[in-house]
A = this chain, B = another copy of it.
Amino acid sequence: MSLKDTIDRTDLKILQVLQQDARISNQALADRVALSPSACLRRVRELEGKRLITGYHAHVAVDRIRAVTIVLAQVSFERHSPGHFGRFDQWVARTGEVVESWRVSGQYDYMLRVVVTDLHDWKRLMLEMMEGGFGVEKITSNFLMDEMKSFGGYPLAPSPAAG
């Protein structure tokens, strides 16, 4: 709870607006949260400083710029040794095609979001993973057909329907 006490309704509103429109001017943002520009700017800088805002990103329609195949890969490991995971994470970090990597609980260990040009490209990456000595046991891949709802920010407050 230590952080939540330092955040008030106004900060939440700021985060909500910036999640939806990161390029809004500080003045317009100040208007929307009913604050003077200077007070608003100070809060934004504080939120950045506390790393509650960790970046601002343009969302690009990559499929309209280059040929892309988006793969959701479920990766399971033979053993759960930290060493293997660590080296795998390093490989992920330096591999630009892997745009997102999550450790998950369940039947598999990692869920990757990978952006490749085509199936041949994906095969190459799969080989790198299987033969990189990371202890990868199995990779199950699914291909994105259609983005029905794309990420536009987190719900910063629990839904009213929730407990």
Q: Which of A's residues lie within 8 Å of B, judged by CB?
A: 3-4, 7, 12, 15, 18-23, 51-62, 64-68, 72, 89, 92-93, 96-108, 110-111, 113, 115-118, 120-121, 124, 140-159, 161-163
Contacts and interface: CB of A to CB of B under 8 A. Distances in A.
A64 B148 contact: no
Contacts of A100: 147, 149-151
Contacts of A55: 20-21, 58-59, 152
Contacts of A22: 22-23, 56-58
Given A121-B163, A142-B107, A93 B149 contact: yes
Contact of A143 (B51, B104, B157): B104
A158 B61 contact: no
Contacts of A20: 55, 57
B162 A18 contact: no
Identical copies of this chain, number: 2
User: Interface on chain A toward B: helix, strand, loop, or mixed SS?
Assistant: mixed
A103 B96 CA distance: 23
Contact of A59 (B23, B56, B145): B56
Q: Which of A21, A118, A154, A156 counts the most B-chain CB atoms under 10 A from its CB?
A: A154
B149 A92 contact: yes
Contacts of A64: 3, 51-52
A53 B56 CA distance: 13
B62 A115 contact: no
* Residue from A19, A110, A140 whose CB has the most chain B CB atoms within 10 Å: A19
